[in-house]
Structure 1
Amino acid sequence: MLRKRGSIILCGTLLFVTWNAILVLFLWGRPPSGQPGEPGREQRELEKEPAADMMADMLRMADTFEAELEMQKKILLQIKSHRSVWELPDKKGQKATPSQPVIPILVIACNRVTVKRCLDKLLEYRPSAELYPIIVSQDCGHAETAEVIGSYGSRVTHLRQPDLSDIAVRPEHRKFQGYYKISRHYHWALNQVFKTLSHSSVVIVEDDLEVAPDFFEYFRALYPLLKSDPSLWCASAWNDNGRENYVDTGKANLLYRTDFFPGLGWMLLRELWDELEPKWPASFWDDWMRQPEQRRDRACIRPEISRTITFGRRGVSLGQFYDKYLRFIKLNSEFVPFTQLDLSYLKEEAYREKFEREVYSAPVVKYEEVKQGQLKGPGPFRLQYSSKDGFKLMAKNLGIMEDLKSGVPRAGYRGVVSFMLRGQRIYLAPPPGWTQYDPTWS
């Protein structure tokens, strides 16, 4: 059924491209005169320039449509070609779904009708409805949003968080009521996924995220690594410093370990939820995840180029960081066949040794040299910090995220933040011999 649907989509795309080409050729080749009711010479002269402009506009429009369709066709072909990796022939030679783990996508929704943008992209790029069921959990009881979600019918499962009451909080926390409700919603929704529906893993996205073409491929490839490496506790689609000029656009396949919990499109296993659920916090769940008591020296996987972007400026955080950072995050557009790559380099011991060797063998440079663009060569270069204030000052002035959570910098690994600047790799790093984070750095 899935293969048939993919073929229909591809055929429709090809027919649409062909129709546009025929239309352009028809308009281009249409005879200019000789038909009854032809306007006189003077009128033709008056209409000549507007007609030419109209023809040019139509040709440009046709070119734009064709280019866009070619790009979408290429993406769909890539997804279809890699779908065969997840299908094995049965004894009769027909295609059958193998006993592969189901990875549900949990969409956390509230009162944004723009959840449609999120769901449209998930459905467009999803290679298998069976392997990736989409579950939308809605809080807030917002009727218009519920109507949008309901319009997708059986393509998504629509859950409604039943407790919409206000939460009793301390007087000074009344302005944070929204954060309390979000934490309550996450707790309920994850229990539905793991305890009611009995899934073994989940990828969480929020209703203001758009995903990349290889979003599903990315998490499918990281699932076995997450299962086998106890030093990992999540995989995230997000790079906190993933703005256009701060990533290596030629390395869409590059992945990192990070000590910072990124969120914004992330996978966890049922075993982790069994650990976290009994002590789940009443509010600010994401910062709670970043505390040493929860992280327990475990890392997440994150990409060089993000597989999600956020389009939700308005929310309970009132657009914190959005205008300065989040709106400029680059979304990956290249399909990377992660399930066919060897990702063993991400395992803890091998990764740490190689990463530290590369960082601390890089030449140390001065902040002024980096800031003024005086470095020669592609790098990498090491820019050293030794205090909280030193890190914050350099990070802010170089344009990367400056805040720390329980002492851990965003996208950092063993205190090191890796980013690109003017096409050169920079490691903002503590001195050699780093041992642990200082939780007072915040």
Structure 2
Amino acid sequence: MVRKRGSLILCCTFLFITWNAILVLLLRDRSPPVQSRVPGGEHMELVSKPTHFAVGDVMRMVETFEAELELQKKILLQIQSHRVPFEPLKGSKQNIVANTEHIIPILVIACNRVTIKRCLDKLLQYRPSAELYPILVSQDCGHAETSKVIQSYRNQVTHLKQPDLSDIPVRPEHKKFQGYYKISRHYRWALNQVFKTLSYSSVVIVEDDLEVASDFFEYFQALLPLLKSDPSLWCVSAWNDNGRDGFVDPAKVQLLYRTDFFPGLGWMLLRELWEELEPKWPASFWDDWMRLPEQRRNRACVRPEISRTLTFGRQGVSLGQFYDKYLRFIKLNTEYVPFTKLDLAYLGEETYQEHFEKEVYNAPLVTYEEVKQGQLKGSGPFRLQYSSKDNFKILAKNLGIMDDLKSGVPRTGYRGIISFISRGRRIYLTAPPGWKHYDPSWS
């Protein structure tokens, strides 16, 4: 691929030079001799002084020549834009590339929150490269004040406006869910802009009420190659649903997991996945639709121990569901992790499953009372086992982690295992050994 691109550049550059050389020769050969009748003679002869018309011809040729040069300059710039990127300098956070395969656009989904300024300010503060991470703000709702805030960033962001602001026909009992229908429509339109109109190969989706951590961009840059190479993964998320302060290990800021639960809230997908999902994209409740078995297809996402996003949007179509109880307590990472310099091979499906399950099921089995009353001996980790849907929900609620399930999958769950910290010790809440699959009736 590199040799082909290099040959294309040399060929186009040769044509560029050759064309302009021909133009110069044509101009030189068409210097303005003019035929004139000499007094007393019947024949025409050349005189060196050009006529008014000859000068005009030359001026027009010069103008044409300049226009052609400008056109060729634009073509050459287009050629240069397809160059193979240079190796980035060691230690430099600037990774300027022109190849769209290496560009990760950030798609900010916006509506009517003027507080989007907090989101955009953090993205711009931590963004290491405008070329590598273009910020696209897609706005629905047509809210003038929010639009004004977005436009105040000028060329730092690209402002896209979803054109269809009409109400969506829904069943009478779904009128109260009109907002969810519009959100789903907006996502479909915005992702089509990213992948079909702008032809990007990946994207990170951020809602307008998310604040990002300092290593947010580093995190996604490091995990993009893994997402591309591992067909058992279908997304990378910056979010830990159980990532409240006290439920995560502050000493494990670099720790990443595979999860069967689609987390959202700052997540990356590839164009190939969108091509799979777009034809059947739902009319509403797109995130729960993503969690159905027929969409997930036994694929996992990567998520961090400590979240790289924090939501500050209590008000929205969900009317603050989970916000007061869980989301406002999520811990945002504050220690920069150089993920691109770490070996992330442990996240590969076979390697991860083997080592993770071995660690989990080799941990001592304990009771809820021992966990809750602080009677555990040793540093851990420890395993606490659930036996049924109701048993899981009771344990999760009493332990303070999220107890809801989507198509049988618990939040942050991997093969029925939920990892969290309780009273300073690692706890694995697990299904019995020999777990095979999720039960969709557990919802």
Asked whether the two chains share a fold, i.e. TM above 0.5, the reply is yes
Q: Is the 8 A contact 1:362 1:380 kept in 2?
A: yes
Q: Which residue of structure 1 aligns with residue 217 of structure 2? A: 216
Q: Which residue of structure 1 aligns with residue 422 of structure 2? A: 421
For the residue of structure 2 that corresponds to 1:394, the secondary structure is helix
Q: Which residue of structure 2 aligns with residue 439 of structure 1? A: 440
Q: Which residue of structure 1 aligns with residue 279 of structure 2? A: 278
* Residue type at the aligned position of 1:231: S
* Residue type at the aligned position of 1:356: E
Correspondences of 1:395-410 after superposition (within 5 Å): 395-410=396-411
For the residue of structure 2 that corresponds to 1:218, the secondary structure is helix
CA shift, 1:84, in A, is: 1.8
* Residue type at the aligned position of 1:121: K
1:176 and 1:102 map into 2 onto residues whose CA distance is: 36
Q: Which residue of structure 1 aligns with residue 161 of structure 2? A: 160
2:368 and 2:90 map into 1 onto residues whose CA distance is: 45
1:350 aligns with 2:382: no
Q: Which residue of structure 2 aligns with residue 340 of structure 1? A: 341
Correspondences of 1:189-204 after superposition (within 5 Å): 189-204=190-205
Q: Which residue of structure 1 aligns with residue 92 of structure 2? A: 84
**Cα 1:397–1:178 shift into 2, 3 Å:** same
Q: Which residue of structure 1 aligns with residue 3 of structure 2? A: none
Identity %: 79
Q: Is the 8 A contact 1:383 1:429 kept in 2?
A: yes
CA shift, 1:97, in A, is: 3.9
1:134 aligns with 2:98: no
Q: Is the 8 A contact 2:93 2:128 kept in 1?
A: no
For the residue of structure 1 that corresponds to 2:102, the secondary structure is coil
* Residue type at the aligned position of 1:114: T
CA shift, 1:113, in A, is: 0.0
The structure with the largest helix share of the pair is: 1
For the residue of structure 2 that corresponds to 1:174, the secondary structure is helix
Q: Is the 8 A contact 1:416 1:430 kept in 2?
A: yes
1:187 and 1:127 map into 2 onto residues whose CA distance is: 28
2:93 and 2:271 map into 1 onto residues whose CA distance is: 25
Q: Is the 8 A contact 1:86 1:98 kept in 2?
A: no
* Residue type at the aligned position of 1:325: Y
Q: What's the CA shift string for 1:128-147, capped at 9, x where partnerless?
A: 00000000000000000000
1:288 aligns with 2:289: yes
1:97 and 1:172 map into 2 onto residues whose CA distance is: 50
1:278 and 1:436 map into 2 onto residues whose CA distance is: 27
Where do 4+ consecutive residues of structure 1 move more than 2 Å?
A: 80-83, 96-100
CA shift, 1:377, in A, is: 1.6
Q: Is the 8 A contact 2:94 2:128 kept in 1?
A: no
2:270 and 2:317 map into 1 onto residues whose CA distance is: 27
* Residue type at the aligned position of 1:84: S
1:118 aligns with 2:126: no
2:128 and 2:110 map into 1 onto residues whose CA distance is: 23
TM-score of the two chains, using structure 2 as the length reference:
0.79
Runs of 5+ unmatched residues, structure 2: 1-87
1:372 and 1:217 map into 2 onto residues whose CA distance is: 40
CA shift, 1:378, in A, is: 1.5
Q: What's the CA shift string for 1:16-69, capped at 9, x where partnerless?
A: xxxxxxxxxxxxxxxxxxxxxxxxxxxxxxxxxxxxxxxxxxxxxxxxxxxxxx
For the residue of structure 2 that corresponds to 1:84, the secondary structure is coil
Q: Is the 8 A contact 1:408 1:415 kept in 2?
A: yes
* Residue type at the aligned position of 1:273: W
CA shift, 1:374, in A, is: 1.0
1:81 and 1:441 map into 2 onto residues whose CA distance is: 51
1:98 and 1:163 map into 2 onto residues whose CA distance is: 32
1:83 and 1:278 map into 2 onto residues whose CA distance is: 43
Larger Rg, first or second structure (1 or 2): 2
2:384 and 2:319 map into 1 onto residues whose CA distance is: 33
Q: Is the 8 A contact 2:122 2:211 kept in 1?
A: yes
For the residue of structure 2 that corresponds to 1:332, the secondary structure is coil
TM-score of the two chains, using structure 1 as the length reference:
0.79
CA RMSD of aligned residues (A): 1.3
